[in-house]
Structure 1
Amino acid sequence: MTAAVVSPFHAQELEIQQRVGVREQMAGAAAFIRDYMPEQHREFFAELPFFFLGALDASGQPWATMLAADPGFVSTPDARTLYISSGMLPGDPLTGHLHAGDHVGGLGLAPTTRRRNRVNGEIVAAHDGELHIAVTQSFGNCPQYIQHRQHTPVAPGTHAVQVLRSASLTAADRELIARADTFFIASANLAADAGRGRGVDVSHRGGRPGFVRVDDEYTLTAPEFVGNFFFNTMGNLLAHPRAGLLFIDFKRGDMLHLAVEGEIIWDGPQLQAFAGAERLLRFHVREVVRNVGALPFRWTDPQPAMQLARTGNWSEADRTQAAASLTTSWRPFNVVDVVQESSDVRSFYFEPADGLGVAAHVPGQFVSLRVPDWAGDGAASQIRSYTISDAPDGRRYRISVKRQGVVSSWLHAHLEPGAQIELMGPGGDFTFEEGTQRPVVMLSAGIGITPMIAMLNGLLVNGSRTRHKHPIYFVHGAREVAHPFAVHLQTLAAGHNNLAVHVQQKRIDIKVLKELLPFDDYDFYLCGPAGFMQDMYQGLRQLNVAEERIRFEAFGPASVRRSGAANAPAVSTATGPVPVRFVRSGIEATWDGSHGSLLELAEANGVDAPSGCRSGLCGSCAVGLEAGDVAYTRTCGSQPAAGQVLLCSTAPRAGASEIALAL
């Protein structure tokens, strides 16, 4: 009979895993947290000239520190024993506090290769700076957020060490922290009931310079990015808030040790404004020890970790917070880049031209563009809404536009780096349901791929990490093999085991889904032309998929008629042929009941109709009705002026013989 696997996590780590929806998936992590060191870890530790250590002083305060000596000062006589022969530097706050029976956390890290391995344990013998440690936990960490640096030894006697102690941060301390791109944090849970999770931990944190904010001389705030979901640090802080921080001045060789109390910030405007942050940690400083010139190394300038491209810093986050109140105002934005995604789709990148930040958005939302005098003949400006086709990075927006219709063609012809245009937003509620525990199916067709790509980029991060630990099925219908984001999708699928991608050059229908998807309980996200949307919605409902499990966004902007919608007005619309004349465009079309609205009919026939419905600009699709009678298919938030109708929500009324629109 197989013995039950004892969890390597203590109660508070499990509590956080449960809170963020990964506890079930992390149950298998016990296999990766060993009570012995693999051979490759042992070889790695022996090569290091420095080693990071976390431990508690006599008062129970954790401290994080760096030990440094010649390679080989950390060795492993066997797979369950770590031996540290020296390395304590002058002024280290742990001097004299390491004794047999104490728990320690160890971290081996090589900045040049971005490799790191963890080893935690209990001191079984300590004498004259030598430590014999019995290993209780050993596991590897991925290289994310580690800055590449090359170190150079400093000859002995060429640097003087000065130890400065205080109860608050000095101006020099604050300056060091404000420009830091790395720090280390030690935390502990030594409760008797902590089980295999009992002990001390020391962890690495990395970000773009400015990712740690000095709130005042006693307070710091730092983001928590997507990690390994172990939640060792946060779990320890939840159990015992005291922690130790270590900041390093890589140019001067200073070590700045902070004794702090930490708190977890789960939500709020500051968190929402900081790109890439899952949570915030706020630290309240209790004691400061700065060892000036203590390290026998100096380092080169860093090469930033690639994972940091989608993360922010506090300067950007503050501007983003300030911009949150401007989402209903038109603002100037500069075009900073244009990328050809396919034969007829281009991505445009925008940064604020007014010196303010970009308002935070959630993947799936959109912005509206105002194109002034787009025809060049003194006509009124035109407004269009486009999905933001990427996850937030705190600095810019990206939209991806298919060249169809006059306005989109104008964007393709006129927007190039250096151009300027007005944007409003973000807005919209077609977003991913945070915390869902179900597999997800993303269904799109044509340019409806854009919100799905934004959601994927928000969920799948850092090359291999995922914010959604359940299966994601990405199903897309495209006319061309070289469709927008084809290579990007292949890259995501190669790096994330929970993503399955299916793209085909024919219409996606329910039959295709039934062939692709294993039996399960899914959340569905739909985006594409209205006919595709309506068919998929009705097909899913016929398969007894619950109404609340189907979320959609119609591109172009058209409406999907929900079955049994309580607020849908009772209407009688024409199903037979009704001639429709678009008077100013000189185009004639026939309504046959296959389109969701007169707006969709106009777009299908190449009429460039005004619309801004998805931007919250209800009423922007109003046009004059010159002849005929229409019926509203849904309740709108705006009433058109006398003689006008809202294209997005109207169809020829049953019995109408002709419709003429001033368009």
Structure 2
Amino acid sequence: MSVSPFHAGELAIQQRVGVREQMAGAGSAGVRDYMPDQHRQFFGELPLFFIGALDGAGQPWATMLVNDAGFISTPDARTLRVDGGMLAGDPLQGQLCMGAHIGGLGLVPTTRRRNRVNGVIAAMDGGRMEVAVTQSFGNCPQYIQDRVQTPVPSVPTPQVLRADALSAQDRELIARADTFFIASANLETEAGRGVDVSHRGGRPGFVRIDDERTLTSPEFVGNFFFNTMGNLLAHPRAGLLFIDFERGDMLHVAVEAEIIWEGAQLRAFAGAEQLLRFHVREVVRNVGALPFRWSAPKPAAQVARTGIWEEADRVLEAAALTSAWRPYTVAEVVRESATVQSFYLEPADGMAVAAHVPGQFISLRAPAGGEAAPRIRSYTLSDAPNGRRYRISVKRDGAVSGWLHDHLAPGARVELLGPGGDFVFEQGTRRPAVLLSAGIGITPMIAMLNGLLVNGSRTRHRHAIHFFHGARNRDEHAFSAHLQAMAEGHRNLNVHIRYSGADGEGSDIANWQSSSGRIDIDWLKAQLPFDDYDFYLCGPAAFMQQMYDGLRGLNVADARIRFEAFGPASVRRDAKPAATAATAAIGAGATAAATAALHAGPPVPVQFAQSGMTAMWDGSADSLLALAEAKGVPAESSCRSGQCGACAVGLVAGEVEYTRACAADIAPGQVLLCSAVPAAGSAAVTLAL
């Protein structure tokens, strides 16, 4: 099209989620003011056609037209002809007229193919109407359930039920629905002016019946056009269509819609980007009207990673249990490499998993090495949340990880605490990202990738993602096949693997490379085009420090380097960390507000008894561990490598306060350096270091 196909509402939402610039290019190119030949052929073969239009009062309605294949035709590329198809009792019956805007959607469930066409009614003759096309574009097959339709011999005279609220039968249909259609309109501006009808799909239970007059539904990742939500910004009325595929009913619901951008319910619903809440205005149920029945569905692959409201409600309940140990059952064990196994863990107490953000970790308590007392280790959750179970991926490296590898088979029980942690991807950033890892440090990076890159081709981060990982050899490279599949499906992902102990080989995938050698700062400089990046680092301590120091030497701002360390010590920063949770170092989990409150007051002298050194606590360090490291005092710390509690030391004198809860059970008289700071009002602190 010669002008942007997007109106002000669509542009506003694209701007809010950070995709406006990208959609101005690739997005606009996909919208035409004519129908391509393949769309014209597609429409001509349909026995069903979905439309959205307004009634005389300006209320949008979504409905389905039904007739013999060929009732949709295209005399030319800019004209769509519809010969009948509207069923008796339809809320749009008698409402369509010349000059009215109409949105059309052709959809074939068995192939999951769909194409859209919007326009204005240019002519009407009895049951025939001709639509002058203003917009035509294809849609991807996401969330469409595969169903086979079968004609019924005869259809009785339908019964039309009208009400201003949902009946018990209506609510039952919506509760088991895996599909609905939504009509919305933009009549406020000339650009993009018109009516739209869109498809929504999910697992049965993805639409919640709050009460007889209220529904709530998630919005999953789509094509970033934001046709529906953009319309709702200025014109919040919408029309919903639910189909009873078994009985042939059509349930039309006229609603007032609101967009929910944040909140606990949104965070608890797996896969949801926003929520739409619908307030019912009118209900029309056309009982048994459809001349088709459909087979049981084959669910779309994308819905497996999305939630339902029953799970979301249980996730909300579980959020209150993150500070308590809970039993979990091993549901599945998958070998990821010669040294790494993934364990899928499901709650054994009848509750749900608590929500987490990719990059966070849980703590695990299990017996190990024949010891009487259980040992506690912390492991990164290596997958994006799905609302049903957790995944941890553990490298065999020590007594505890060896015990997990040898004893955790399906059906085994462990106890978990959490999730928690601050090493997460910055929401809303519009800079390209560099995910840089080595060894088992790949686990939070995989979780972040799985959260950002979804459904085989969609991305929540429409800027470049550079994924660099160092492994000893191919046998020890966890998630190799998964990374290659992601690279094949996502053009904004660029992967480069370095093998230190084997020859690197090329790849047939354009955005996947491998080579021999180690990752160092000179090699990294040679791989990255000039740009302003956000860096995410995870790996052994020496690797982390080398990368951090190298990036700072290149004048990368300290606040742009976020990291999680796997090894005996956290990374020493050369600048005070920025006041954001995402930039916290290993073991430092305090929020800026919490630490600010503890930093108030005069400096506190901290004496390290064994080292004979004294340092002043003035709030410039995140924790006593960071203070010790800044002064060169040796202090053990390996929280994220699975040894929560390793930083415990004796408190000789003074008082401390904690900036967050930790999993370790420590002996009386000890403190955890990674999360402790001098207590407010404390005169001095002495540590046995």
Do Structure 1 and Structure 2 share a fold, with TM-score over 0.5? yes
Give deviations 1:145-193, integer Å, cap 9, x for gaps.
Answer: 0000000011134x441111111000000000000000000000112x3
Q: Does the alignment pair 1:392 with 2:389?
A: no
- Residue in 2 aligned with 1:354? 349
Distance 1:463 1:557, change over 3 A: farther
Distance (whole Å) between structure 1 residues aligned to residue 365 and residue 314 of structure 2: 23
Give the superposition deviation at 1:127.
2.3
- Residue in 2 aligned with 1:439? 432
Distance 1:614 1:404, change over 3 A: closer
Distance (whole Å) between structure 2 residues aligned to residue 168 and residue 5 of structure 1: 44
- Residue in 1 aligned with 2:162? 165
Distance (whole Å) between structure 2 residues aligned to residue 529 and residue 266 of structure 1: 38
Distance 1:229 1:622, change over 3 A: same
Contact 2:50 2:63 survives alignment (8 Å): yes
Contact 1:613 1:621 survives alignment (8 Å): no
Q: Does the alignment pair 1:530 with 2:566?
A: no
Distance 1:298 1:406, change over 3 A: same
Contact 1:168 1:285 survives alignment (8 Å): yes
Superposition map of 1:174-185 within 5 A: 174-185=171-182
Distance 1:222 1:523, change over 3 A: same
Give the superposition deviation at 1:375.
2.8
Q: Does the alignment pair 1:369 with 2:406?
A: no
- Residue in 1 aligned with 2:234? 239
Q: Secondary structure at the match of 2:330?
A: strand
Superposition map of 1:61-460 within 5 A: 61-157=59-155, 159-191=156-188, 193-195=189-191, 197-372=192-367, 374-378=368-372, 380-460=373-453
Q: Which amino acid aligns with 1:180?
A: A
Give the superposition deviation at 1:194.
3.4
- Residue in 2 aligned with 1:541? 552
Distance (whole Å) between structure 2 residues aligned to residue 428 and residue 542 of structure 1: 28
Q: Secondary structure at the match of 1:474?
A: strand
Q: Over the residues paired in the alignment, what is the CA RMSD in angstroms?
A: 2.8
Distance (whole Å) between structure 1 residues aligned to residue 675 and residue 248 of structure 2: 67
Give the superposition deviation at 1:622.
2.4
Give the superposition deviation at 1:596.
10
Contact 1:165 1:289 survives alignment (8 Å): yes
Distance 1:487 1:597, change over 3 A: farther
Contact 2:339 2:396 survives alignment (8 Å): yes
Give the superposition deviation at 1:352.
0.5
- Residue in 1 aligned with 2:34? 36
Choose the corresponding residue for 2:563, options 552, 576, 581: 552
Q: Which amino acid aligns with 1:346?
A: Q
Q: Does the alignment pair 1:479 with 2:476?
A: no
Contact 2:564 2:640 survives alignment (8 Å): no
Q: Secondary structure at the match of 1:180?
A: coil
Contact 1:11 1:194 survives alignment (8 Å): no
Choose the corresponding residue for 2:526, options 503, 515, 518: 515
- Residue in 1 aligned with 2:22? 25
Distance (whole Å) between structure 2 residues aligned to residue 538 and residue 408 of structure 1: 30
Give the superposition deviation at 1:284.
0.4
Q: Secondary structure at the match of 2:636?
A: helix
Percent identity of paired positions between Structure 1 and Structure 2: 70
Contact 2:363 2:418 survives alignment (8 Å): yes
Q: Secondary structure at the match of 1:599?
A: coil
Q: Secondary structure at the match of 1:43?
A: helix
Distance (whole Å) between structure 2 residues aligned to residue 612 and residue 537 of structure 1: 19
Contact 1:351 1:395 survives alignment (8 Å): yes
Distance (whole Å) between structure 2 residues aligned to residue 429 and residue 369 of structure 1: 18
- Residue in 1 aligned with 2:503? none
Distance 1:515 1:8, change over 3 A: same
Give the superposition deviation at 1:572.
9.9
Contact 1:599 1:647 survives alignment (8 Å): no
Contact 1:41 1:117 survives alignment (8 Å): yes
Distance (whole Å) between structure 2 residues aligned to residue 492 and residue 526 of structure 1: 20
TM-score where L is the length of structure 1: 0.87
Q: Secondary structure at the match of 2:495?
A: strand
The count of aligned residue pairs is 608
Distance (whole Å) between structure 2 residues aligned to residue 614 and residue 479 of structure 1: 18
Distance 1:572 1:286, change over 3 A: same
Distance (whole Å) between structure 1 residues aligned to residue 362 and residue 74 of structure 2: 57
Contact 2:566 2:641 survives alignment (8 Å): no
Q: Secondary structure at the match of 1:475?
A: strand
- Residue in 1 aligned with 2:625? none
Distance 1:208 1:636, change over 3 A: closer
Distance 1:125 1:621, change over 3 A: same
Gap regions ≥5 residues in structure 2: 501-517, 578-598, 612-629, 653-657, 677-687
- Residue in 1 aligned with 2:624? none
- Residue in 2 aligned with 1:492? 486
- Residue in 1 aligned with 2:593? none
Distance (whole Å) between structure 2 residues aligned to residue 350 and residue 248 of structure 1: 36
Distance (whole Å) between structure 2 residues aligned to residue 394 and residue 111 of structure 1: 27
Distance 1:556 1:369, change over 3 A: farther
Contact 1:531 1:596 survives alignment (8 Å): no
Higher deviation after alignment, 358-367 or 554-563: 554-563
Contact 1:52 1:106 survives alignment (8 Å): yes
Gap regions ≥5 residues in structure 1: 576-592, 601-610, 630-634, 651-660
Give the superposition deviation at 1:642.
8.2
Give deviations 1:213-248, integer Å, cap 9, x for gaps.
Answer: 000000000000000000000000001000000000
Q: Does the alignment pair 1:622 with 2:651?
A: no
Give the superposition deviation at 1:481.
1.3
Contact 1:446 1:529 survives alignment (8 Å): yes
Distance (whole Å) between structure 2 residues aligned to residue 20 and residue 270 of structure 1: 19
Distance (whole Å) between structure 2 residues aligned to residue 102 and residue 636 of structure 1: 61
Distance 1:409 1:64, change over 3 A: same
Q: Secondary structure at the match of 1:7?
A: coil
Choose the corresponding residue for 2:55, options 43, 54, 57: 57
